Structure formats: structure tokens, C-alpha cells
Amino acid sequence: MSKFLTAKNDAVFKAIFCDEDEPFLLTKLLEDILQIKINSLEKLDNELKISFVKEKSKRVDCVVKINGNLYIHLEVNSAYSEKVAFRNFLFFSHIIISKILRGKDYNTKDNFLHISLTYKMSKKKKALKILKIAKNVKMYEYNMDKILDYWYNKNTRKVEKYKYLIMQDLQPEELEKLIKQRKDEVIMTYFEKLKKLNRGDKFELLMTAEEEEIFWQNTYREEGREEGIKEGRKENAKSIAKNMLKEGVDVSLISRCTNLSVENILALR
């Protein structure tokens, strides 16, 4: 295989950490992040329910319920953008709302946590940003590139603190070094699963994180171009409408010719 995929790719992350039959790695990752003992872990449906026919399907990376009352929404983002952050927030809100609607009052018994593992953020930002939305609702955003720098800069104390996050985007030779240093069962188990996935045919066609980033950049560029075209057409229609108004053309006729609403046309006067 010409490329070695890591858990920076969300499909690889889900295959390794979100396996219902083997919750060991996800349990250890969450225990390390939350600094608690997990007694029970239930993997929930990651396909969020839609409210109406034309609504787009919403599939998140991972949703679990631990220790009976803590719902965790976990997302891997190979690149940072405001659109991705907003999408994650909307999905997290959807999860909270779905639990509230089950009862007759606001749900304050359960706790909700969103965890973003985000790459391509500014290294000037903190390694971890915690946002407390309510007493029982929090958001954690990890700056994965800053955390990876702890490994490459040989910051031993930070590497120990973030080892289960660092391992997720290391290439084989680096993972072998980490295993020699730590001799950690979690890291060894992760590496074995990662090597197995990279040997399989299922992930041959997956994009690397870099390829995925280029894909999203092109997507945003195209969206911007289309938005610009739409805005240009709208401004052109307004210009035509203004000229027609000057000539005394009936407003309803102008509306039919330009596709502008009567209200918008009247506002041009």
C-alpha cells in the first residue's frame, strides 16, 4: 500500500475505536480524557433522526453513553473550519434535544459532552479548549497538531499526558518508538488494529487526511464561487428592476421578469 492511513481519518478512527464488539480502546481513550473509571459503555446509533422528509441525513462519528448518565458525542476533524465547528455544534445540540424530548421537562439528570479531535488548527491556540454551555453540558476541543508537537519536541511530561491522542496520527516507525518508550497495552492494541486495517482492501480507496483537506478546500471554494454567481445574478436583477421602475413598468411585471419579490422591488424605489 502506498499510503499508511491513521486515525486522523474519521473512517479509520470509527473502525478502530467505535467497534461495538471491542470497546477496549474507546473505553481507555475516554477514561484518559475524562480521568474517570468507566463502568459501563453503550454505543448509540450514530445516524441522527431526521424531522422531515427533505432534511439531510446526519451521521456523526461516534455517540456513546457511559456510566448510565453521560452522553458523549465524539468527532474527528481532519481540518479546522468554522463550518465544521458549527456542524459539530448542531449535531451535538440535536443529540441533547433528542434526550430532552423523551421527558416532560428539561433534562438535568443526564450530562452531555462533545469532544472534537481537530487537526489543522493554529498552534497558537491551546491544546484543549473547554466550553461550559450549562451545568450539565460541556464541549472539549483538542488542538491535535499542537498535541502532536509535544511528541516531536520530545516534551516527555506532555507526551505522557496526551499519549492516546498523540498515537492517532503517528506513522509506523513513530508508533514503534512510542511503544518502546511506554510499553503501553492500549498503544500496542491500537497499532495492531491499525496495521491490520491498512493491510485490508476495505480502506484502499480512502483518502488520506491531506487528500481530504484538499477535497474540502475545493468544496468550500466551489461553494464560494456558486454563492458569488448567485449574488451577481441578484445584483443584476436589482439593477434591471431599478431601470424598469424608472420607466414606470408595473411592479408585478418587474417581479415576473426578474424573479425578485414585490417587497424587494418596492424597497428599491
pLDDT in tens, 5-56: 899 988 889 989 987 678 999 999 999 999 999 999 998 876 655 443 334 4
Give all strands (DSSP E) within the chain, no chain letters. 41-43, 47-48, 58-59, 62-66, 70-77, 111-118, 128-134, 137-143
d(CA 13, CA 21): 15
**Which pLDDT value is given to residue 52?**
39
Q: pLDDT tens-digit profile of 81-97?
A: 888 888 889 888 888 88
Please report, to the nearest 10 degrees, the dihedral formed by the alpha carbons of residues 95, 97, 101, 105 taken in order: 130
For the segment 121-125, the average pLDDT, to the nearest whole number, is 88
* Collapsed DSSP state (helix, strand, coil) of residue 46: coil
On whether the CB atoms of residues 16 and 8 are closer than 8 A, the answer is: no
β-pair type (62-66, 41-43): antiparallel
Least confident of 106-110, 134-138, 197-201, 247-251: 106-110
Q: pLDDT tens-digit profile of 192-247?
A: 999 988 887 666 555 455 555 554 555 555 555 556 666 667 777 888 888 778 87
On whether the CB atoms of residues 244 and 254 are closer than 8 A, the answer is: yes
**Which pLDDT value is given to residue 220?**
53
**Which pLDDT value is given to residue 61?**
83
**Which pLDDT value is given to residue 58?**
59
CA angle 246, 252, 253 (to 5 degrees): 70
